[in-house]
Amino acid sequence: GEDVEQSLFLSVREGDSSVINCTYTDSSSTYLYWYKQEPGAGLQLLTYIFSNMDMKQDQRLTVLLNKKDKHLSLRIADTQTGDSAIYFCASGSYIPTFGRGTSLIVHP
Amino acid sequence: SQTIHQWPATLVQPVGSPLSLECTVEGTSNPNLYWYRQAAGRGLQLLFYSVGIGQISSEVPQNLSASRPQDRQFILSSKKLLLSDSGFYLCAWSRQGLAGTDTQYFGPGTRLTVL
């Protein structure tokens, strides 16, 4: 079946950029997604990218898609302590497959 | 706008007791509905999904069942809880339709602890 892989942890300093990476196997994915989960809460849709796009920018968020390598990344500019959360990558053409999530830790 | 509700928010139940978790969606019609479990390893495990009233697909064999008695209501149940049923249960919805309209929107979750 489909597989989505993410590193489990990322630690950055406040004000720096964060880059969270994801690889996926489902080449038929129409959309690829990034979700954010804060402690004790549900998943919040952060952004998504259509599979025929290379890049999407939304304020501090930049999504890059390399379809050839099946690699997706999420860049957060000027990372703040409020960005500390678990970030999930998801891909799929019908029911998305989720990665295990990357814990982003932002320290002063 | 659409809203998804789950209750209860937290639940502590003894082993062997029954379970009923409820999810409702407002502001949309005929949604696809999903139940996920998120265990300590943080990954999301798809348990059930439904494309319409009375239509339930089960992704993994388990101690749980799901029902959809109304268009925007999705219920997760168990007759006898096991310790391994502990976890964070998330309900989600997506729009029906063409491929590429499968963006999922999640509820706030229910934390279930089985003792």
- Give the whole-angstrom CA distance, residue B85 versus residue A35: 24
- Share the mean pLDDT of chain B: 91
pLDDT band at residue B1 under the 50/70/90 scheme: confident
CB B114 within 8 A of CB B86: yes
Q: Reduced to 3 states, what is the DSSP secondary structure of residue B99?
A: coil
Supply the pLDDT for residue B62: 79
E strand spans, chain A:
4-6, 9-13, 18-24, 31-37, 43-50, 55-58, 61-66, 71-76, 85-92, 97-98, 102-107
Q: Is A44 on the interface with B (CB under 8 A)?
A: yes
Q: What is the mean pLDDT of residues A72-101?
A: 93
| A7 and chain B in contact, CB less than 8 A | no
Give A100's contacts in chain B (Cβ within 8 Å): 41-43
Q: Which of B42, B92, B111 sits opposite A101 (nearest CB)?
A: B42
Would an 8 Å CB–CB cutoff place A92 in contact with chain B? Answer: yes
Strands ordered across the beta sheet of B73-78? B3-7, B19-26, B73-78, B65-70
Pick from A97, A98, A31, A103: which is nearest to A63 by CA? A31
| Beta-carbon contacts of residue A68 (< 8 Å; ≥ 6 apart) | none
Of B41, B99, B106, the CB nearest to A43: B106
pLDDT tens-place string over residues B47-102 = 999 999 999 998 876 789 999 999 999 999 999 999 999 999 999 999 876 544 57
- The Cα–Cα gap between B87 and B81 comes to 12
What amino acid is encoded at B2 in this protein?
Q
> Is there a contact between A47 and A60 (Cβ–Cβ < 8 Å)?
no
